[in-house]
């Protein structure tokens, strides 16, 4: 008979029940043969024990003995990983297998079955083949071919099979193999066989049906439509849709301080802080500065302006018989040929995009020094 290396892991509190421990040890010895060595350790000491570092692939069996309450508590992930490590390939972890730890066990590398968790051999992926055993500790298992059990059906129903075997499996209510579960839908559908392309193609074809009516006016009228106002009602946490029904819009905060540290210089439409009034005052101030600038320059151009006015007056009279009057602010020709009219920075001529904040020419169009500018105030 083969000799097994067995590690008996004890929950710290189980030491208060020495009888239990002996009972289990005897059972293990009976099952796995007298030559098998049973090592014993307390589970938390085991996890912290540095010696564990040396013990990869050592044990065939790890048995975790714990009181009933421990079944409801998770085994720490670190412990699980350690157990995987110390087990030989195909080695089994059994005893207290908390349901809550099942996912962690899978993540740690176990193949999980109801009565034991198996460390896979490196080649085997996914399904562990049923091991043929004459006996197993505790439950009576029936030798059977692998069976996939549908989650949605609680009973295994196969009218063709032997009634006796049906009875036996019902008795155990255990699936002998891992259950494949599709995360996003409750029913089990094994789609691995379907070719991806054909699947989405036929999917698309079936959906096209919904689009074929859009040329038909009558069809359109008969269509039953949703109440669109229902789309506006906020769902208090709808869990049905993976992406979440309550899609929140992006928040774009309004900062009074800009990223470059300057204070926001733009008034909101509903400005209540007085910035709007200040902006308006600035504009008035700028206009009066412009008036001064233009006034000074226009004085020298007045003669020119008078000539232009008369010219236009004559034209108007001939075409309309109506005299239209222009005052100086309506048609202004500015002669910038006068020397020294640029400011200190030299950018005055360039247009507002390049002028300084306090430039008196702000608001006036760009000009080439020497160029005559017309500002047309139209409409009469």
Question: Which residue of 54, 207, 322, 325 would you call a contact of other proteins, by CB under 8 A?
Answer: 207
Question: Which residue of 106, 130, 308, 350 would you call a contact of other proteins, by CB under 8 A?
Answer: 350
The answer to whether 6 touches 61, Cβ cutoff 8 Å, is yes
Question: Which residue of 365, 369, 370, 372 would you call a contact of other proteins, by CB under 8 A?
Answer: 365
User: Smallest distance, Å, CB 313 to other proteins?
Assistant: 19
Q: Calculate ∠ Cα 227-233-237, nearest 5°.
A: 125
The DSSP H or E segment spanning 90 is strand 87-95
User: Is 199 a binder of other proteins (CB under 8 A)?
Assistant: no
User: Is 51 a binder of other proteins (CB under 8 A)?
Assistant: no
N-to-C CA span, the chain = 117
- Say whether 353 sits in a helix, a strand or coil: coil
User: Is 241 a binder of other proteins (CB under 8 A)?
Assistant: yes
The answer to whether 70 touches 99, Cβ cutoff 8 Å, is no
223: left (phi over 0), alpha (psi -120 to 50) or beta: beta
Q: Kindly tell me which of 13 and 296 has the beta carbon lying closer to other proteins.
A: 296
CA 92 to chain centre: 39
User: Smallest distance, Å, CB 315 to other proteins?
Assistant: 15
User: Is 109 a binder of other proteins (CB under 8 A)?
Assistant: no
Cα dihedral value 190, 195, 198, 201, nearest 10: 70
Confirm or deny that 96 is annotated as ligand binding.
Answer: no
Q: Kindly tell me which of 72 and 284 has the beta carbon lying closer to other proteins.
A: 284
The answer to whether 10 touches 41, Cβ cutoff 8 Å, is yes
- Say whether 300 sits in a helix, a strand or coil: helix
User: Smallest distance, Å, CB 325 to other proteins?
Assistant: 15
Site string for other proteins, 300-339 (x = CB under 8 A): ----------------------------------------
The answer to whether 149 touches 113, Cβ cutoff 8 Å, is no
User: Is 283 a binder of other proteins (CB under 8 A)?
Assistant: yes
Backbone phi and psi for residue 264, each to the nearest 5 degrees, phi listed first = -60, 130
User: Smallest distance, Å, CB 181 to other proteins?
Assistant: 20
Site string for other proteins, 242-281 (x = CB under 8 A): -x-x-xxxx-x-x---xxx-x-xxxxxxx--------x--
The answer to whether 119 touches 91, Cβ cutoff 8 Å, is yes
The answer to whether 71 touches 99, Cβ cutoff 8 Å, is yes
User: Is 232 a binder of other proteins (CB under 8 A)?
Assistant: yes
The answer to whether 347 touches 355, Cβ cutoff 8 Å, is yes
User: Is 354 a binder of other proteins (CB under 8 A)?
Assistant: yes
Footprint (CB under 8 A) of other proteins, residues 21-50: none
Q: Kindly tell me which of 13 and 246 has the beta carbon lying closer to other proteins.
A: 246
Residues in binding contact with other proteins, number by CB under 8 A: 58
- Among 71, 175, 70, smallest CA distance to 113 is for 175
- In the complex, the residues that contact other proteins under the rule CB under 8 A are 200, 204, 207-208, 210-211, 214, 220, 223-226, 228-229, 231-232, 241, 243, 245, 247-250, 252, 254, 258-260, 262, 264-270, 279, 282-283, 286-287, 290, 350-354, 362-366, 368, 375-379
Annotated binding site: 256, 268, 271, 273, 345, 348, 356, 359
Annotated binding site for [2Fe-2S] cluster: 256, 268, 271, 273
């Amino acid at each position: 008979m083969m000799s097994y290396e067995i590690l008996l892991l004890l929950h710290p509190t189980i030491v208060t029940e020495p009888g239990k421990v002996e009972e289990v040890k005897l059972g293990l010895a009976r099952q796995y043969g007298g030559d098998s060595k049973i090592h014993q350790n307390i589970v938390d000491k085991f996890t912290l024990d540095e010696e564990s570092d040396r013990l990869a692939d050592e044990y065939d069996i790890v048995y975790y003995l714990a009181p009933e309450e421990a079944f409801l508590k998770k085994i720490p992930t670190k412990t699980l990983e350690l157990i995987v490590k110390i087990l030989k390939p195909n080695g089994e972890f059994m005893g207290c297998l908390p349901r809550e730890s099942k996912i962690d066990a899978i993540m740690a590398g176990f193949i999980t079955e109801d009565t034991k968790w198996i460390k896979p051999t490196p080649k085997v992926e996914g399904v562990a083949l049923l091991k043929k055993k004459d006996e197993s500790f505790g439950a009576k298992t029936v030798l059977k071919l692998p069976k996939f059990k549908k989650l949605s059906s609680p009973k295994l129903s196969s009218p063709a099979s032997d009634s006796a075997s049906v009875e036996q499996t019902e008795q155990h209510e255990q699936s002998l193999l891992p259950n494949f579960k599709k995360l996003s839908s409750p029913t089990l559908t094994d789609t691995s066989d379907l070719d991806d392309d054909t699947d989405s193609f036929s999917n698309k074809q079936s959906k096209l049906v919904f689009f074929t009516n859009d040329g038909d006016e009558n069809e359109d009228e008969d269509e039953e439509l949703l109440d669109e106002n229902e789309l506006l009602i906020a769902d208090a946490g709808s869990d049905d849709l993976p992406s979440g029904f309550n899609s929140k819009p992006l928040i774009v905060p309004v900062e009074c301080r800009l990223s470059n540290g300057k204070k926001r210089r733009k008034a909101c439409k509903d400005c209540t802080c007085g910035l709007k009034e200040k902006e308006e005052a600035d504009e008035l101030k700028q206009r009066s500065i412009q008036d001064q600038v233009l006034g000074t320059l226009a004085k020298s151009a007045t003669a020119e302006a008078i000539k232009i006015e008369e010219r236009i007056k004559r034209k108007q009279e001939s075409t309309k018989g109506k005299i239209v009057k222009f005052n100086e602010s309506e048609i202004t020709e500015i002669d910038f040929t006068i020397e020294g009219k640029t400011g200190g920075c030299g950018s005055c001529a360039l247009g507002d995009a390049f002028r300084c904040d306090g430039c008196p020419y702000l608001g006036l169009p760009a000009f080439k020094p020497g160029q005559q500018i017309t500002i047309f105030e139209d409409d009469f």
